[in-house]
Structure 1
Amino acid sequence: MLLATYLFGLFAFTLPQAFSPLKEDGHFKFVLLIFCVTFLLPALNIGLFKMLGYVKSVAMEDRRDRVVPFLFMSLLYCAITYLFYSRTRIGIHDNLLKFLIIIDVLVVVGAVVTLFYKVSVHSIGAWGIVGILLPLNKVVEDGTLFYPMLASIVIAGVVMTSRLQLNAHTPREVMIGSILGLVTGFGSIVLLF
């Protein structure tokens, strides 16, 4: 849930054109807004789902516990993107909307796969960022994304290792999540940009 905030926070420092058409003084306000709607709101809802009995624990160790929260988060992320599109002057060709759509696609892929198989959503998110940064690094001429891209690869490896060390997932669940995240992030960037 924090990966959207991390991505836009990184862009605020290294790739301000990702926020097009927002003015530069609005980048950090946007990152704060993204934090609220993609982390705080879903986290509160997961707590609510726990209180209502839709999930046994907030760790959501069982695949069935993940279905309702993940579908809700997909709906929430897509609704927020639609609101940005319909209520602001952000257009279909603006970078900001494209990045929001890519994040939505990653969340929806995670939710849809969860309907059938328990997959590491942490791996989807971490490798989704790698998939976004890899082609962007090639396009950005000044090389500002090179070290963040390398760091994201290392972090994605640490995330995978931690999911295995905690026995939260099997190696197969982590690998499938990694492949889904990388392919979805990379493919979305190639298609939209």
Structure 2
Amino acid sequence: MKNFILKSISFVFHPLIMPLLGTLFYFSKTPRYIPEPIMKAKIFSIVILTIILPILLFFLLKTINKVNSIYLKSTRERLIPLFINCIIIFLILLRVLPPTELIELYYFFLGILCSTFICFILAVFKIKASIHMIAAAGFFMFAINIGVYYHININGTIALMMVILGAIATSRLHLKAHTNQELILGIFTGFTPQLILLNYWL
């Protein structure tokens, strides 16, 4: 039962869903008026580009034996998916979230791009960082940024995210997917770009 729960945590909080969670969190907390059709269009585009497209590309890469599992366990497996993800995030910044429209989300995704690129560079040098922790820590820092920016109380969200971060870390350790050092490296790779970029839109 314990093994099932910890595996489920890794699956439910897969890195692919974090950009969508960050987007939904932003739309639920921002006091700015954003027409509903625009919100739906942005959410739909992000679902297609950050979840559905990567999944389809994963099956393509698996078919041609470039990856073995969706968790990308080796640094060699990570290179192509991370590079493709960099391109996808860049296209989102270019077409879906230009800085003139939703600056907070623009910098959130710019932070995601920076974290993904850092993870790619680490993989080139055969250094493994937890992508789960990168994604979760990036969302966690973005949530804090939104709370600071709009002066709203998100203590409940912060507490929940800390529990989730702990659960993800426990899950990855239990499954022997990462070492403590790889988890810590993932956390720093995820939240540092979000923290640095806060200076540009706060």
Between the aligned partners of 1:107 and 1:136, the Cα distance in structure 2 is 21
Alpha-carbon contact 1:134-1:186 (below 8 Å) kept: no
Alpha-carbon contact 2:108-2:142 (below 8 Å) kept: no
Between the aligned partners of 1:150 and 1:31, the Cα distance in structure 2 is 25
Residue among 20, 23, 27 paired with 1:5: 20
Residue among 44, 47, 50 paired with 1:32: 44
Letter in structure 2 aligned against 1:189: L
Between the aligned partners of 2:148 and 2:89, the Cα distance in structure 1 is 28
Residue among 111, 121, 132 paired with 2:142: 132
Distance 1:85 1:148, change over 3 A: closer
Q: TM-score, normalization: structure 1?
A: 0.85
1:190 aligned onto 2:199: yes
Secondary structure of 2:120's partner? helix
Letter in structure 2 aligned against 1:166: L
Paired residues in the alignment total 186
Between the aligned partners of 1:84 and 1:93, the Cα distance in structure 2 is 10
Letter in structure 2 aligned against 1:42: P
Letter in structure 2 aligned against 1:188: L
Secondary structure of 1:2's partner? helix
Between the aligned partners of 1:85 and 1:12, the Cα distance in structure 2 is 13
Unaligned runs of 5+ in 2: 1-15
Residue among 80, 83, 104 paired with 1:71: 83
Alpha-carbon contact 2:134-2:187 (below 8 Å) kept: yes
Alpha-carbon contact 2:42-2:96 (below 8 Å) kept: no
Alpha-carbon contact 2:22-2:142 (below 8 Å) kept: no
Letter in structure 1 aligned against 2:25: L
Unaligned runs of 5+ in 1: none
- What is the CA RMSD across the aligned residues, in angstroms? 2.2
Secondary structure of 2:72's partner? coil
Between the aligned partners of 2:121 and 2:107, the Cα distance in structure 1 is 21
Shift of 1:95: 3.2
Q: TM-score, normalization: structure 2?
A: 0.81
- The range that moved more, 149-158 or 97-106, is 97-106
What is aligned with 1:152? 161
Shift of 1:2: 0.8
What is aligned with 2:131? 121
Between the aligned partners of 1:188 and 1:113, the Cα distance in structure 2 is 21
Alpha-carbon contact 2:22-2:143 (below 8 Å) kept: no
Shift of 1:161: 1.2
Between the aligned partners of 1:83 and 1:142, the Cα distance in structure 2 is 29
What are the residue-to-residue correspondences of 1:72-111 with 2, within 5 Å? 72-84=84-96, 91=100, 94-111=103-120
- The range that moved more, 112-121 or 102-111, is 102-111
Between the aligned partners of 1:28 and 1:109, the Cα distance in structure 2 is 31
Between the aligned partners of 1:180 and 1:163, the Cα distance in structure 2 is 17
Alpha-carbon contact 2:26-2:105 (below 8 Å) kept: no
Q: Deviating runs (4+, > 6 A) in structure 1?
A: none
Alpha-carbon contact 1:127-1:153 (below 8 Å) kept: no
